[in-house]
Amino acid sequence: MVLLPDLSLGQYSLVYNVISFTIATMGAAFLFFVFAQNRVAPRYRMSMLVSALVVAIAAYHYYRIFQSWQAAFMMDTTSGMYVASGQPFNDAYRYVDWLLTVPLLVVELVLVLALSRDLQAKMITKLTVAATLMIILGYPGEVASYIDTPTRAFWGTLSTIPFLYILYVLWKELGKALEQQPPRVRVLIRNARLLLLATWGFYPIVYMAPFFGIYGAESQMVFQVGYSISDILSKAGFGLLIYVTACAKSEADGWSQS
Ligand SMILES: *C/C=C(C)/C=C/C=C(C)/C=C/C1=C(C)CCCC1(C)C
């Protein structure tokens, strides 16, 4: 179990507010993706539904993380610091969330392309298996104490292998499929892919905080705030780009809402 460091009022509140903000963002994104569905052609609605699922799952887990954060600390009036209450802070919610949402995010991206059934099934299988492996392999390193950098490095390296494979599939194989898409859609998908690279690439950097000499209260800040911001961009932000892509594809198909 990871020992919780003492936090100043500012540190405790920063994480508290960022998690609270994340719940609100995910909830709002859920409503948006549900209600915006009829603005795209029926064949792209499944992709929007998956976007909605992703942010709904995240909103739930952030709510649980929020509760766990509140329970894990208490104000020590003599020192004026937030100290461990004795109840553990459950970091597993985050990884359970990723285990569900990361495969769904790649499904979202592949679905909006409306590829041939065969190609679609192949891409989804490869990407979801790799995404699942990436998260499972990262977990033992995440829950290792931040002092135990060799364990973190070992699992982090293993987890990076499927991560690189995902990038390979998205650039190499999806790149080929992109050539058959209308020009505007090609640009949008390239942007979605870049957003995916930028936001997903941020997770391993946050994970490595202890390697940059960030320990204790600071590492707790970096993990919680860093992962929350990444989650907002990679789930709600990415879903928004998928929505814009679905609109462009609907238009290219000659579909109009009415
Ligand atoms: C909504 C949540 C998302 C998109 C989470 C993505 C997470 C990753 C891309 C995590 C990757 C990791 C590595 C590549 C190595 C170190 C361990 C991880 C799990 C942080």
Ligand 1 centroid, distance to 200 Cα (angstroms): 6
The one-letter amino acid code at 235 reads K
Decide: 108 in ligand 1 pocket, CB within 6 A: no
Residue written as token pair 């990444």? 230
Ligand 1 lined by 239 (C-beta under 6 Å)? no
Q: Which atom of ligand 1 is nearest to the CA of 157?
A: 15
Determine whether the shortest distance from the Cβ of 204 to ligand 1 is under 6 A: yes
Which of 105, 149, 200, 235 is the best mutation target for the ligand 1 pocket, counting ligand atoms within 8 Å of the beta carbon and taking the most? 200
Is 134 a pocket residue for ligand 1 (Cβ < 6 Å)? yes
What confidence score (pLDDT) does residue 173 get? Answer: 87
Check if 163 has its Cβ closer than 6 Å to any atom of ligand 1: yes
Q: Are 48 and 254 in contact (CB under 8 A)?
A: no
Q: Which atom of ligand 1 is closest in space to residue 201's alpha carbon?
A: 9
Query: 133 CA to middle of ligand 1, Å?
Result: 10
pLDDT tens-place values along the chain, 258 residues long: 467 899 999 999 999 999 999 999 999 999 999 999 999 999 999 999 999 999 999 999 999 999 999 999 999 999 999 999 999 999 899 999 999 999 999 999 999 998 899 999 999 999 999 999 999 999 999 998 878 899 999 999 999 999 999 999 999 988 888 988 899 999 999 999 999 999 999 999 999 999 998 988 999 999 999 999 999 999 999 999 999 999 999 999 999 886
- Measured from the Cα of 196, ligand 1's closest atom is 4
Distance 256 CA to ligand 1 centre (A): 38
Burial of 59-93, coded b for 16+ CB within 10 Å and e otherwise, reads bebbbebbebbeebbeeeeeeebbbbeeeebebbb
Residue nearest to atom 14 of ligand 1 (CA): 160
pLDDT of residue 180: 86
**In sequence order, what are the residues at sequence separation of 6 or more whose Cβ sits closer than 8 angstroms to the Cβ of residue 109?**
170, 189, 192, 193, 196, 242
Give me the pLDDT at residue 144, please: 87
